[in-house]
Amino acid sequence: MKISHFVLFVMVLSLVIFSVDGLAERDRNSINIQGSSTVLPISQRAAEVFMEKYPHISISVSGGGSGTGIAALVDGVVQIANSSRFIKLDEVKNAVASNIYPVPHRIAMDGIAIVVNNENKVKELSLEQVRKIFTGEITDWSQVGGDRGAIVMVSRDTSSGTFECFYEVVLQGQRLSPRSQLQTSSGGIVSTVNTTKGAIGYVGLGYLDGSVKPLDIIKEDGKVVSPTSENVASGVYPVSRPLFIFTNGWPKGNTALFINFILSLEGQKLVEEVGFVPLY
């Protein structure tokens, strides 16, 4: 009887150890990614191709904004944080206080396109005009060469890296009009502008799918430039920024394998495929 009890104990213990090892193996073969909705299409497409190459590795990708992704990295719930801006000093302090050491990896370049409804006859604006629209100084399309009608401003929320870039480069630190409709994703901006005749918003190049019209920008020297990959790559387009992913320390294992894939020639072709600007 004692031997039977002992054998039963060993069998149960073996099952527990096997289960724990199985969970550990599953965790080692899982990569969780969260953050910028701008970087989201890059991560999603790269994850699809990567998992075809390495079917034993599972990748979960979600949005929520750059700030949300960095917060998730600090909380230790993701291996990769997508961000369309560089990490802020207070975020670094919070991370270090939690023994998290964020390391940036630049994976692409992007331009922020000013977009309007396809029925809008306005084709180009200066950054000064865009700034006056989003601060509430210009309120009607007739003030900038369009048909008479109220301007509906559609903006990302403050957790967005796209908003951060827009705030610094276009608004130049001025307050966004409280009449602006805030969206939690770039897809939300595209959808709202597409269905609202008088709307104007801003999105990364990867979201230019024909459902909204990107405006050309009149530069201070009078030259007119379009929001294209070529103009971003050459530095001609005035509203551009790098796109990042952040890891806790230098990446290892499957996380490093995935990042190296994005930075490879094949990965950079996927960056271009989804509408962004590859690094080379």
Distance in angstroms (rounded) separating the CA atoms of residues 163 and 146: 25
Instruction: Please answer whether residues 206 and 274 qualify as being in contact, where contact means their C-beta atoms are separated by less than 8 angstroms.
Output: yes
Q: How confident is residue 159, by pLDDT bands cut at 50, 70 and 90? A: confident
Rounded to 5 degrees, what are φ and ψ at 43?
A: -65, -40
Q: Could you tell me where the DSSP H helices lie in 86-196?
A: 89-97, 127-134, 161-169, 186-195
Distances in whole angstroms, Cα of residue 38 to Cα of each of 110, 164, 176, 193, 208 = 9, 13, 20, 17, 12
Strand 240-248 versus strand 102-116 pairing type: antiparallel
DSSP 3-state percent helix, strand, coil across the chain (nearest 5): 40, 25, 35
The reported pLDDT for the residue numbered 264 is 98
Among 241, 245, 233, residue whose Cα is nearest residue 203: 241
State the distance between the two ends of the chain, measured CA to CA, in whole angstroms.
71
Q: Which of the 8 DSSP states describes residue 107?
A: E
Q: What pLDDT, in 10s, does the model give residues 8-38? A: 333 433 433 333 333 334 447 899 999 999 9
Q: What pLDDT, in 10s, does the model give residues 259-277? A: 999 999 999 999 999 999 9
Instruction: List the beta bridge partners of residue 242.
Output: 109
Q: Which of the 8 DSSP states describes residue 241?
A: E
Among 274, 158, 138, residue whose Cα is nearest residue 200: 138
The reported pLDDT for the residue numbered 28 is 74
The single-letter code of the amino acid at 146 is G
Q: What pLDDT, in 10s, does the model give residues 212-250? A: 999 999 999 999 999 999 999 999 999 999 999 999 999
| Domains of the chain with bracketed CATH | 2-109+242-273 (3.40.190.10), 110-240 (3.40.190.10)
With a CB cutoff of 8 Å and minimum separation 6, the contacts of 42 are 107, 108, 206, 243, 262, 270, 271, 274, 276
User: Two tokens at 118?
Assistant: 């396809």
User: Is it the case that residue 80 has pLDDT exceeding 80?
Assistant: yes
Instruction: Please answer whether residues 242 and 108 qualify as being in contact, where contact means their C-beta atoms are separated by less than 8 angstroms.
Output: yes
The reported pLDDT for the residue numbered 25 is 40
The reported pLDDT for the residue numbered 4 is 52
The single-letter code of the amino acid at 252 is K
Q: What pLDDT, in 10s, does the model give residues 81-121? A: 999 999 999 999 999 999 999 999 999 999 999 999 999 99
Average pLDDT score, the chain: 91
Mean pLDDT, residues 138-142 taken together: 98
pTM of this structure? 0.85
The reported pLDDT for the residue numbered 203 is 97
Q: What pLDDT, in 10s, does the model give residues 187-215? A: 999 999 999 999 999 999 999 999 999 99
Among 20, 59, 32, residue whose Cα is nearest residue 248: 32
Mean pLDDT, residues 129-147 taken together: 98
